[in-house]
Chain A
């Protein structure tokens, strides 16, 4: 009974047990299945991912090589392809105090220790200023330009807070050279020179891959700046300007304005020197205008006989007396006028020529408008409008009463010696045969005659100090008093030498100008151009001549035999 009862109870319990076991088994199986399914799903996902990576995704994202190599701003080169300005990826040293991201101090070691380590890498670093900056916990540049090997050494310090971001930088490998031609870049925008003039082109993605070739020759530019600087320092001048111009194409081979600035490091000091003395500042350039006056007179037929003698005694006109710097005798002919630089005879020649005709020639030479050049800074000449009275024309004849830039003078001289064609000056390289047509101002015969006269000034006259042996230099000195408050200032001069070489086949015009030279021992205690500007040309021409394809030759010169009898032995009267 009992057992039956038990027996009777057991089956139900067993059934329940079997039921439980079956269910447990089922659940277990289900779980295994589920886990298996998850694994299968994971494996499938992994396989799919592998398949996707291998088949669909085009490996690392593709980038065109040309895109990667396209500079962020176009390169500027000289005429021979030497880079003058280029964009290149540089490193900067940036202090990022939150780089550690742990709420602690930004540096592992003390700021002083880190500053000392940085000082070991960059010897010119201000250790205390850097330590102060590191201690202040303010983010900022520690240094704008870091060389790659120095960047590696900074990494080796092991401070996370010292970051070296790559920045695209504008770099001028030649330093201060040609600074006024190039200008500088600030926040991606070009200023002052060709950086401003070519800004659109340098930023255009289609054209910036190709370097912009300027007409500048870096070697000539270097020599011009060097000689100008030496000349400027030797006579204590406050500034200097110079230009080398190709007479046949109008290409500017060198253009310098001193004191210069450093486009790699623009600061307040640099900003003071940004003003371009060659294209923007107007000067009364004095006696350098006399050859232009004589050329205008010969061209119009006012002077047909060069041996004609003009009175050289003080000339009273309209209540004003025109004098020479020192008495030059009773009378002078035209070559002697240029050789001794007589204001009086030049005034007589202008009188014969006529003010209207003279004004027209000056206008044809571009003296009545801003100079033609790509630079944004171009000075407007002080040009008297309306009919010129007789006195005005006479003073302009010897370079007073008309203020122009040295570039105006260079273009006018190029016109006078190249056969009489005026061409606009340019800073862009011109392929051979592609020069501007220009306009005719003088006859070719006038130009040939002027070549002789300019050479005579350098052989017998005030330009003797510029006569570099073998280079057939011709040119004219000019020393003008600077206008100041209440008339001309006798002690401050602008001394200019306008030179052309070689005179037997003129190729280049050189203008060398000194602003307020002093009378010092180096210039034999003289202030005039013959003693300070002319020697600059004499030293410069032998340096640049062979580079420009003009070889010195003592056996060759322009024929002066027909004019030589007019000046006697060249020593004076």
Chain B
């Protein structure tokens, strides 16, 4: 037996041993995971049973007889009458009355005509003139360079935020 072949044989054994070790580790790991799964399943079963118990308790405490008792003694609710139901828009509109002659214009609270009036500009309380834009936006300040997307949302590059924050 040459030394070379002996080394090779030892090498084979070592490889075999390493494989066996790896297999063993894997096997143990699989078993560990499996028992964890079983433990988790048991926990699920226990929790499901607890849920069932709580649900049943809740339903027992809120059974129809009990609700009826509360309704009669504490709240005194009665079944809604026909006047409390609306079937359609037409019935709803029938409750309104036409404007009498000489009545004031109805106040319009909200609406969307499509053309919003221009946003009022900030006016100086001393002069009554519109405030200069430059006063509100100091020179050195860089505007955030936003990239407007097609759907109207704005994407702001991260660098710009960092840059403005550092100034």
Chain A interfacial positions (CB closer than 8 Å to B)? 54-55, 58-60, 62-63, 65, 68-69, 82-83, 86, 88-89, 147-148, 171, 173-177, 218-219, 221-222, 225-226, 469-471, 542-543, 545-546, 551-554
Contacts and interface: CB of A to CB of B under 8 A. Distances in A.
B85 A543 contact: no
A470 B35 CA distance: 65
Contacts of A542: 79-81
A377 B35 CA distance: 52
Contacts of A86: 52, 56
Contacts of B41: 63, 65, 68
Contact of A88 (B35, B39, B56): B56
A173 B63 contact: yes
Contact of B64 (A54, A55, A148, A218): A218
B132 interface: no
B64 A174 contact: yes
9 tightest A-B CB contacts, nearest first: A222-B64, A470-B82, A552-B82, A59-B35, A542-B79, A173-B59, A68-B45, A173-B60, A174-B63
A69 to B, nearest CB: 6
Given A175-B63, A546-B80, A69 B85 contact: no
A544 to B, nearest CB: 9
Contacts of A553: 82, 85, 87
A147 B57 contact: yes
A59 B31 contact: yes
Interface string B31-62: 10011001101001100110011001101100
Contacts of B67: 222
B28 interface: yes
Contact of A551 (B53, B60, B63, B87): B87
A566 B52 CA distance: 61
Given A58-B34, A542-B80, A148 B63 contact: no
Nearest to A264: B60
Nearest to B61: A173
Contacts of B65: 174-177, 222, 225-226
B8 interface: no
B27 interface: yes
Range, interface on chain B: 20 to 34
Nearest to B46: A68
Interface of B: 24, 27-28, 31, 34-35, 38-39, 41, 44-45, 48-49, 52-53, 56-57, 59-60, 63-65, 67-68, 79-83, 85, 87
A82 B62 CA distance: 12
A177 B64 contact: yes
Nearest to A61: B38
A89 B49 contact: yes
Nearest to A539: B79
B38 A59 contact: yes
5 contacts: A59-B31, A65-B41, A88-B49, A174-B59, A553-B87
A547 to B, nearest CB: 10
A561 B39 CA distance: 74
A60 B56 contact: no
A465 to B, nearest CB: 17
A225 B41 CA distance: 43
B38 A62 contact: yes
A89 B49 CA distance: 8
Nearest to A82: B59
Nearest to A56: B31
Contacts of B35: 59-60
A65 B45 contact: yes
A546 B79 contact: yes
Contact of B31 (A54, A88, A89): A54
A174 B63 CA distance: 5
B33 to A, nearest CB: 10
Contacts of B68: 222, 226
A551 B85 contact: yes
Contacts of A82: 59
Given A59-B34, A60-B35, A176-B65, 17 more contacts: A54-B28, A58-B34, A69-B49, A86-B56, A88-B49, A88-B53, A89-B49, A147-B57, A174-B59, A218-B64, A225-B65, A226-B64, A469-B81, A471-B82, A542-B79, A553-B87, A554-B83
Contacts of A69: 45, 48-49
Contacts of B85: 546, 551-553
